[in-house]
Amino acid sequence: RVLSLELNKDRDVERIHGSSINTLDIEPVEGRYMLSGGSDGVIVLYDLENLSRKPSYTCKALFSVGRSHPDVHKFSVETVQWYPHDTGMFTSSSFDKTLKIWDTNTLQPADIFHFEGTVYSHHMSPVATNHCLIAVGTKSPKVQLCDLKSGSSSHILQGHRQEVLAVSWSPCHEYILATGSADGKVKLWDVRRASGCLSTLDQHNGEKSKASSETANTAHNGRVNGLCYTNDGLHLLTIGTDDRMRLWNSSTGENTLVNYGKVCNESRKGVKFAVSCGCNPEFAFVPYGSTVAVYTVFTGELITMLRGHYSTVSCCVFQPHFQ
């Protein structure tokens, strides 16, 4: 099904956003409801289900947190995410320096976390049962961990030198977190450890040339602005502004050296890309100019470019139930 993906002629999504859409998330419980966040601060909730049973239909917007809502984000929403365990709650973060926890039924914020700088990315673990930590990447080099239970954001992971553009929890280990920064580094953390950082991924796998004075491990020769684990958590894909995508073994930290060719990436902020689920082989879907490039994860082959948008694509999300 993935190999024959093309623009659906019978099905589209009601257009509510008046400006660019930065982030999408489909809830993992039923795979039915989708959130989107826009550069004007607006958040929209859609029902993807076809209740009419007619072959052609438009996915309806059920609610939105619009410009007139008292708690709407003041600036661009960069990340939206459903609470992984039920659809009663979702989260959003914004360039207005806040992370908001929303009650889906009332569309009111249950909690608001404030930061000193722009928020680029946040993520809740899809598998955590022993903690309720939201990882947050901001203008600060410190990674913030916000605790939903206590409302505290005092837990900090230190080690990056520049702003943190992307954060992602492992889908199989609830305490393992990956972060990508403008300093060119990707770090893996165990949030139970006081020192935190487990490893800093090295694109050269420790084999630097003698001539190179570079001692610090870097994952990319540019800003790292996208991270995505494979669904089994065994590998991590990273994207950088060096126009490269890299695949890492997440347990050894080794660069697998899969070559995806040039992956154009001029984004000044985070890039939201996706990996397939339940396919053999697995595929990566990467925003690429006005298209979405589809790569085979483990061979690096560019399978196809999904065309249909007229302007820059900023995010994509994979619906595992229907591939």
6-35 pLDDT, tens per residue?
999 999 999 999 999 999 999 999 999 999
State how far Cα 17 lies from the chain centre: 20
pLDDT digit string (tens) for 157-194? 999 999 999 999 999 999 999 999 999 999 999 999 87
* Torsion of the alpha carbons at 270, 171, 80 and 7, rounded to the nearest 10: 80
Report all structural domains of the chain as residue ranges with CATH numbers, in order of start: 2-307 (2.130.10.10)
Q: How many CB atoms lie within 10 A of CB 201?
A: 25
CB 71 within 8 Å of CB 109: yes
Q: How far is CA 223 from CA 125, 152, 191, 257, in A?
A: 24, 29, 23, 19
pLDDT of residue 269: 86
Average pLDDT over residues 142-163: 93
Report the DSSP beta bridge partners of residue 205. Answer: none
pLDDT band at 312 (very low <50, low <70, confident <90, very high): very high
Q: 3-state SS of 222-288?
A: CCEEEEEECCCCCEEEEEECCCEEEEEECCCCCECCCCCCCCCCCCCCCCECEECCCCCCCEEEEEE
8 A C-beta contact, residue 43 and residue 91: no
Place of tokens 């004075």: 213
Nearest C-alpha neighbor of 100 from the set 139, 43, 141: 43
Mean pLDDT value of segment 286-305? 96
Spatial separation of the C-alpha atoms in residues 97 and 169, rounded to whole Å: 21
Indicate whether 105 pLDDT > 70.
Answer: yes
pLDDT digits (tens, 9 = 90+) for 50-94: 988 899 999 999 999 999 999 999 999 999 999 999 999 999 999
Question: Which pair of structure tokens corresponds to residue 219?
Answer: 């994952």
Computed over every residue of the chain, the mean pLDDT equals 94
Q: How would residue 265 be classed by pLDDT, with cut points 50, 70 and 90?
A: confident
Backbone Cα Rg of the chain:
19
Q: Which residues pair with 247 in a beta bridge?
A: 237
In the block, which residue shows the tokens 């890299």?
Answer: 246
State what percent of residues in the chain have pLDDT above 90.
88
Q: What is the pTM of this model?
A: 0.95
On the question of pLDDT at 213 being above 60, the answer is no
